[in-house]
């Protein structure tokens, strides 16, 4: 069986994109990605669009069909992939399946979301609409889940509050070197720990911002990849899994089974172990999520991820496992459907040596994209072709 290669990547500027709407953002990233790979629009056979909620945000549905028209890729097969915040990772899985199955020899994946035209309260409500009626009725938001889980984690594992703040400090530092990031500004620990409370004990700087943006990846069989380039990445492991919709029904509030299951599946497919991973992009929508994913993916024992962060193991230039070299969702921004694709863009750029000042020495990279509060999770492992 031929391996599935990635031969191109792109992302738009993430942030507040005044006057640009979902179809504009998707078309920009889509055409840039084809240009990056030197592939013609007419060669695209499948086009997947990762997007959570353009209908609710903008009243624009059918964005996959708008995009296939806007980039001139008709009659390519197209499909919108929604797995809430994990739509991007689910798009990677769908794109991988399309090549692996032989259904397509050239698949373009574009993820995007347009959010900033709505108020913070409205945006929070749209995202919280993933919840069960019992949760929604109580006014539970995704940040509320993060606050509940963070308090439990800190109390149970005797972890210092500062350790969560250090995740934000690290990811902001990495984001300074990402030209597409929403925030390119370092923050110090004191600023994080004294920022306004959003969901006690978590504060403003424990959360990612609200963001417009789009990102894209181009997939093909390895034999086709070699016709275009010697520098490509290969998806060697990918898996998706789910957990309960009702968050408190989980056996252990600090374990995201979807992370564990999808991670195990991706490791098994790739034949790699956690120790083989050289760089990771984790879904740091909230700082606490970086701990939970490190533990779920086997980078740390349960209750001990905070120690690795405190020890500097996840630092970009000096750590054993550089984590969120892109700046993460924290500083890069979180345009829902784009985020999982943008994680893939960072790992791809690291593996083909195009990460510029963010470059680390990596042969294998992992990204973990989390939807809801761990409700749907996709883990992808990529390796350099060379």
Partner 1 sequence: MTMEATRYDDGTITYPGHPRGPDGAEPVETIDLSEYTAEVVTWTTSTATPPGVREPNHLAIVEFDVSEASDDASSSRTQSGDDGASVRAIGQLTTGDVETGDEVRPVYVDELREPGAGIREPESQAWDGYRFEPL
209: its two tokens: 């911002």
The H helix count followed by the E strand count for the chain is 15, 11
- Least gap, CB of 1 to partner 1 (angstroms): 30
The residue (of 103 and 197) whose beta carbon lies closer to partner 1 is 197
The residue (of 108 and 355) whose beta carbon lies closer to partner 1 is 108
Contact residues toward partner 1 (CB under 8 A) are 21, 24, 27-28, 31, 34, 40-42, 55-60, 69-74, 117, 120-122, 124-126, 128-129, 132-141, 143-144, 147-149, 151-152, 155, 196-202, 246-249, 253
- Least gap, CB of 150 to partner 1 (angstroms): 8
The residue (of 68 and 321) whose beta carbon lies closer to partner 1 is 68
- How, if at all, do strands 107-113 and 46-50 pair? parallel
Residues counted in the chain: 386
- Least gap, CB of 134 to partner 1 (angstroms): 5
The residue (of 70 and 276) whose beta carbon lies closer to partner 1 is 70
229-233: long-range contacts, CB 8 A cutoff, minimum separation 24 = 229/7, 229/37, 229/38, 230/385, 230/386, 231/352, 231/353, 231/385, 231/386, 232/5, 232/6, 232/7, 232/352, 232/385, 233/5, 233/6, 233/347, 233/348, 233/351, 233/352, 233/382, 233/383, 233/384, 233/385
What SS3 class is residue 123?
A: helix
Q: DSSP letter for 344, please.
A: H
- Least gap, CB of 172 to partner 1 (angstroms): 20
- Strand (E) positions, 260-362? 279-282
The residue (of 32 and 284) whose beta carbon lies closer to partner 1 is 32
**CB 355 within 8 Å of CB 349:** yes
**CB 34 within 8 Å of CB 8:** yes
- Least gap, CB of 69 to partner 1 (angstroms): 6
- Least gap, CB of 199 to partner 1 (angstroms): 5
β-pair partners for 242:
376
- Least gap, CB of 242 to partner 1 (angstroms): 13
- Least gap, CB of 347 to partner 1 (angstroms): 27
**CB 345 within 8 Å of CB 185:** no
The residue (of 56 and 231) whose beta carbon lies closer to partner 1 is 56
Q: DSSP letter for 50, please.
A: E
The residue (of 150 and 181) whose beta carbon lies closer to partner 1 is 150
Q: Which residues contact 253 (CB under 8 A, 6 or more apart)?
A: 148, 149, 152, 247
- CA geometry: angle 351, 281, 14, nearest 5 deg: 95
The residue (of 136 and 228) whose beta carbon lies closer to partner 1 is 136
């Amino acid at each position: 069986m031929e391996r599935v290669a990635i031969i191109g990547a792109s992302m738009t500027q993430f942030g507040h994109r005044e006057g640009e709407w979902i179809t504009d953002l998707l078309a920009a990233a889509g055409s840039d990605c084809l240009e990056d790979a030197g592939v013609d629009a007419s060669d695209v056979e499948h086009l997947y669009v990762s997007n959570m909620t353009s209908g609710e945000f903008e009243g624009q549905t059918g964005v996959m069909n708008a995009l296939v028209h806007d980039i001139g890729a008709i009659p390519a097969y197209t499909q919108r992939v929604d797995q809430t915040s994990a739509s991007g990772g689910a798009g990677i899985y769908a794109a991988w399946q399309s090549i692996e199955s032989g259904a397509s020899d050239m698949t373009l994946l574009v993820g995007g979301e347009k959010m900033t035209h709505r108020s913070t309260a409205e945006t929070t409500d749209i995202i919280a609409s993933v919840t069960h009626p019992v949760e929604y009725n109580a006014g539970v938001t995704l940040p509320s889940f993060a606050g509940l889980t963070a308090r439990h984690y800190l109390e149970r594992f005797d972890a210092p509050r500062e350790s969560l703040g250090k995740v934000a400090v690290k990811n902001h530092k990495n984001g300074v070197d990402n030209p597409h990031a929403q925030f390119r500004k370092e923050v110090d620990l004191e600023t994080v720990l004294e920022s306004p409370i959003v969901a006690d004990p978590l504060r403003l700087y424990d959360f990612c911002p609200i963001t417009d943006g789009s990102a894209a990846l181009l997939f093909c069989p390895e034999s086709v990849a070699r016709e275009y380039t010697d520098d490509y990445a290969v998806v060697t492991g990918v898996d998706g899994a789910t957990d309960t919709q009702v968050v408190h029904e989980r056996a252990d509030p600090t374990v995201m089974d979807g992370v564990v299951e999808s991670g195990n599946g991706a490791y098994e497919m790739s034949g790699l172990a956690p120790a083989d991973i050289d760089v990771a992009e984790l879904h740091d929508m909230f700082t606490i999520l970086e701990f939970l994913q490190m533990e779920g993916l086997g980078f740390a024992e349960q209750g001990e991820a905070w120690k690795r962060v405190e020890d500097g193991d996840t630092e970009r230039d000096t750590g054993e496992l550089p984590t969120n070299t892109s700046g993460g969702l924290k500083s890069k921004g979180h345009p829902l459907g784009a985020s999982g694709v943008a994680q893939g863009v960072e790992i791809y750029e690291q593996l083909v040596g195009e990460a510029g000042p963010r470059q680390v020495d990596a042969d294998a990279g992992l990204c973990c994209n989390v939807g809801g509060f761990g409700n749907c999770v996709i883990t992808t492992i990529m390796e350099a072709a060379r």
